Structure 1
Amino acid sequence: MDLLQLWGLARRNWLVLLASLLAGLAIGAGVSYVQPTLYAATSTGYVVAGNSATVGDAFAGSNLAAEKAGTYLPLVQSRSVAEAVAEELEVSPGAVSLQGSTEGVIFRITATAPSAGLARDMADAAIRATSIEANDLETLTVSGESSGRTVIRIVPVELAVTPSQPVSPDWTRNLIIGLALGLMAGFGLVVLRHTLDRRVRQSADVEEITQSSAMGVVPLASELVDSVSLARDRGAAAEALRQLRTNLRFVSVDNPPRSIVVTSANQSEGKSTIATHLASLLAESGQPTVLIDADLRRPVLAKHFDVDGTVGLTQVIAGSVDLADVLVPTSQDGLLLLPAGRIPPNPSEIVGSGRMESLIVGLSQSYMVIIDAPPLLPVTDAGLLAVAADGALLVVRHGKTRKEQVALAARNLAHVDGTLLGFVMNMVPKKDMGSVVYGYGYGSYSPQYYYGEDGSRKRRGEERAARRTARRARRQDGDVVPPQHSAPVHHEAVDEATRFVSAEDLLEQPSGHAGPTPKAPPAARVKFPPVR
């Protein structure tokens, strides 16, 4: 995982990282709060050896003193020095905390105590006690008696100063360590969660599993649920579905699909919504379309279009009604709906029958057929429909569908020799659109184009441009008029003149066609092929 992916994970999981930082900060503050308040004071001594009568004596004495200074360090933490300091200060020996250090012939003792005055007195008493112990050791003879003479001694040269600030707790250090540990723990949790997460979050994962291409990435948008047609919508969701429509037309240039099964691995992944809007946009482009609700277990399209769904596909397959009698015109010109009808006891036999295949093949001669099928994993209906149709479109829900489920759904299609045209990443949060398409580390993007909307920002820009044009024209004529007296801008005329049409809309119109989008013939005048 590179830095760009880590940055992307940090952006997506910033709440986890923030919580980890706050937890680390709280731990650092808690540790500082429970630590005792301690002060430290340092006293300094000088190790002297021999005399300095000559240069040679001074040099030899200095080397000997530096060597001896290191041997005196164990005396600082010895029991005899602690007892001497405790007796002088009238404290217990366990309360004496001393630490020695040397720098050449300089000998330092640092004392730590709960109060500043006690730390100062303890350091001064420690340097005196250590000096006495060192002098006693240097005067010992082989027999263990004191000779009373020595050429090496520790001389106190600088008494301790009363400390003004405690050395413990160190709030700054503890808080910084807490923040660092919290950040490390947060990143570790995020990386571990990403490693163990088997849900689909990038289109590249599905491409690798299914060996198919992403036909579209549809963002999570309320307008997809609130309406059944996005013909006049220019939002991000509508443009993503138009991109899906265009990609399906070019999925096979020599043999473009005329009947498409829209399915998913599990329920509640948005397959019916994708099928509905795909069919509406195909009809919007001037292609007569029939939308079939083949989910005979949980039909929803009749409810979406607010039509009577009690009579429909099941009765047509059973031969009890004619196809022309149950095709329902919708609010979208050129789109007909075939509801599911009565829920049968044997849905798999219905959708896998020869009459169902004849219906799909016959309708696809004159119409683009979009089939809303049940999910692939719970039942076999979608696989049977995929065999009868030209191919299947797999809807994958971002952040919910698992990679194992995608692999199993693709395998189920392959087992029945169904053609997987591609997949659609559905319900993608807008902030994750970039990472879904390009990988972690990229921000969101919007496929929304500029269509000449009547926004206040656009109008202000148009007014400024019109005033600049008017001023330039007056300067050329030699007529100087204050800018505020320029002619008013007619927004209606400007909006009509600056209205843009997308390149996709131009490509979708037949050659030489400049009029309105052609409508499909009414259902009553359509001659459908016989169903056998």
Structure 2
Amino acid sequence: MELISFLKIFLKRWWIIVLIFLVTVGSTAIFTWRQNPTYSVTTTFVVSPSSTIFSDPRSFLSGLDVLGGRVSVANTYSDIATSRRIKNDTIDALGLNPVQAETLDVGSKILAGTNVIYITVEGPDPSLITTFANKLGETTVKYVEELYGVYDLKILDLAEIPVFPIKPNWKLNLALAAVLSLAVGMGISFLVEYMDDTLREPDEISQLFQAPLIGFIPVMSKAAAHSLYMVKLPQSVVAEAFRSLRTNLEFASVDKPLKTILVTSNGSSDGKSSIATNLAVAFAQSGKKVVLLDADLRRPSLHGFFSIPNQTGISDIIRGQVSLEEAIYRSAKGGVALILAGPLPPNPAEMLGSKKMENILASLEEIADVVILDSAPLLVADAWALSAKVDGVVLVVEPGRLKRKTAQAIMDRIQLSRVRIVGLVLNRVKKGSESDYYSGYLADASKYDSQASNKRKANLQDIQSTSGLGLSLIPKKTPGNSHRFRNAQKQNKPTPINEPNSGEINRNISNKLL
């Protein structure tokens, strides 16, 4: 893995590193602050030959025998100074209580190659440890004079009252905490990235599905995602994204035009219905005759975009309850012909995979330039049944939701069923991401989402008169249905283009519907 890859991981998981850093450094600071300060003082001794050995020749000769062992003598003196006896004698001499004595810590050190001894005393009270260190030195000197006559132990430097404590060491503690927290944070970030099999990068998604990226739809508000964005805000960044998707689909089918396009996703709530609806409007705005078909017979939603009751639809056509003409609605502003799902059947996969469904699609291809189907997700068999009957499939993926294992399973199924994936559409792409190439020259989508929200109340009367989103159901005016159409307009109810009792049915579906 290259260095740039590590940097991307750390930048993506920066919050883990920052969180661990703040927790670790903060905890260390609190722990350090709650510690009692510890001070240290040092009394310095030197071991030297006694002056008495030069006054008597015999003492001088005997002193020469032990001069070679002066290093071991210094070690002995050092051990004496830190012994329990010397410490207790000092405590008694100063009249310290057991609590004060317990706080004192005595240690010794000999400077290498010399006869210099350092006696160190540590404790929380700087005055007490200074007094104790100096008294300990005096007690040690007196005791040593009784043991040896050849070597003297003299105090070189007395201890002085310290100003700053040696513990806790704020700089050292915080520096170690910072370094350790950064190392741990980066390690955890890398581990989380390694264990996370969620697909986030566009190139990674495209490579796994072996299909090009043909669309990037920015994040929309929840209300805007369930509306005809292409009609409400045609100059917005979202509308431009759908026009770009439409153009890419046209380029993808230069040799063999795509007449029937299935829009699906890997799972629920990926926004496929919103993309299918606005894509259909984008095609209609380019001058094409478009039929939008709700083929999701499990959780249909297209009727909500147009504020139409889901009463009659494709399920009725397949069961022979109504004719194709009777089930089609037309949008005046959106410019698309709409076929809803209708009553939900108990066997949607069998109905959508039937020969009759194939004949319906063939009929729609004859009267429309483009037929867009909004199907159930690939988690169920419905989408697979339809995918074999269309010219191409558009797969909607939301980065950060699709797991690698799920994507691989879908890809294996695609290869087995030989489904033609025309391209991938990344939905809810956040602004500032690598895929959001609109942000450089288009306005922010959130600006238009806010405008739509502000206009909603002002346009309430217009929304009601157009069935919510510019939907105008205009039947062919015949002597038998003129009064029926006027009543429907007064009641703001959608009316099928040709009801069973609406008079003579015009058999030229293309001219009538589109």
Alignment check: 8 A CA contact 2:37 2:167 kept: yes
Alignment check: 8 A CA contact 2:292 2:339 kept: yes
* SS at 1:344 equivalent: coil
The correspondence for 2:84, drawn from 68, 79, 88, is 79
2:237, 2:93 → 1: CA distance? 83
State the shift of 1:135 in Å: 5.6
**Match for residue 21 of structure 2?**
21
**Match for residue 123 of structure 1?**
133
Which digits, 9 at most, give the CA deviation of each residue in 1:38-88, with x for residues without a partner? 22112222333588x9xxxxxxx9998678656755445433443343333
Alignment check: 8 A CA contact 1:85 1:96 kept: no
For the pair 1:114 / 2:128, whether they are aligned, the reply is no
Which digits, 9 at most, give the CA deviation of each residue in 1:263-316, with x for residues without a partner? 112211111111112212222222322111000111110111112431121222
Matches within 5 A, 1:337-376: 337-365=338-366, 366-376=368-378
State the shift of 1:192 in Å: 2.8
**Match for residue 459 of structure 2?**
none
**Match for residue 239 of structure 1?**
240
**Coordinate RMSD, CA, aligned:** 3.5
Change (3 A) 1:407 1:133: farther
* AA partner of residue 108 (structure 2): G
2:192, 2:266 → 1: CA distance? 23
Change (3 A) 1:69 1:324: farther
**Match for residue 155 of structure 1?**
154
Alignment check: 8 A CA contact 2:103 2:124 kept: no
Matches within 5 A, 1:321-340: 321-340=322-341
* SS at 1:389 equivalent: coil
2:234, 2:79 → 1: CA distance? 85
* SS at 1:388 equivalent: coil
For the pair 1:221 / 2:220, whether they are aligned, the reply is yes
* SS at 1:245 equivalent: helix
**Match for residue 174 of structure 1?**
173
Alignment check: 8 A CA contact 2:39 2:164 kept: yes
Matches within 5 A, 1:131-530: 131=141, 139=148, 149-150=149-150, 152-222=151-221, 224-230=224-230, 232-365=233-366, 366-377=368-379, 379-431=380-432, 433-434=433-434, 437=435, 446-447=438-439, 449=441, 527=509
For the pair 1:89 / 2:94, whether they are aligned, the reply is yes
* SS at 1:401 equivalent: coil
2:67, 2:240 → 1: CA distance? 87
State the shift of 1:157 in Å: 1.8
Change (3 A) 1:110 1:240: farther
Which digits, 9 at most, give the CA deviation of each residue in 1:346-398, with x for residues without a partner? 21121101121222234334421111000111x20100110000121221222
Which digits, 9 at most, give the CA deviation of each residue in 1:195-216, with x for residues without a partner? 2222222223323432222222
**Match for residue 101 of structure 1?**
109
Q: What 5-or-longer segments of structure 2 have no aligned partner?
A: 55-65, 448-496, 499-505
Change (3 A) 1:87 1:345: same
1:324, 1:74 → 2: CA distance? 109
State the shift of 1:336 in Å: 1.7
Q: Give me the identity figure in percent.
A: 30
Alignment length (residue pairs): 433
Alignment check: 8 A CA contact 2:226 2:274 kept: no
* AA partner of residue 371 (structure 1): L
* SS at 2:92 equivalent: helix
2:80, 2:243 → 1: CA distance? 86
1:413, 1:181 → 2: CA distance? 47
* SS at 1:250 equivalent: helix
| TM-score (structure 1 length as normaliser) | 0.72
State the shift of 1:260 in Å: 1.4
2:287, 2:67 → 1: CA distance? 103
2:442, 2:421 → 1: CA distance? 34
Alignment check: 8 A CA contact 1:284 1:332 kept: no
2:110, 2:247 → 1: CA distance? 81
2:75, 2:332 → 1: CA distance? 97
Change (3 A) 1:446 1:5: farther
* SS at 2:230 equivalent: coil
Which digits, 9 at most, give the CA deviation of each residue in 1:205-234, with x for residues without a partner? 323432222222322212741521325534
Change (3 A) 1:417 1:450: closer
1:101, 1:427 → 2: CA distance? 69
2:242, 2:86 → 1: CA distance? 85
* AA partner of residue 47 (structure 1): V
2:372, 2:49 → 1: CA distance? 103
Alignment check: 8 A CA contact 1:397 1:425 kept: yes
| TM-score (structure 2 length as normaliser) | 0.74
* AA partner of residue 373 (structure 2): I
For the pair 1:43 / 2:43, whether they are aligned, the reply is yes
Alignment check: 8 A CA contact 1:310 1:341 kept: yes
1:237, 1:126 → 2: CA distance? 84
Change (3 A) 1:351 1:133: farther
Change (3 A) 1:171 1:385: same
Alignment check: 8 A CA contact 1:262 1:370 kept: yes
Change (3 A) 1:304 1:62: farther
Which digits, 9 at most, give the CA deviation of each residue in 1:464-509, with x for residues without a partner? xxxxxxxxxxxxxxxxxxxxxxxxxxxxxxxxxxxxxxxxxxxxxx
* SS at 1:430 equivalent: coil
Change (3 A) 1:101 1:248: farther
2:74, 2:362 → 1: CA distance? 102
Change (3 A) 1:310 1:88: same
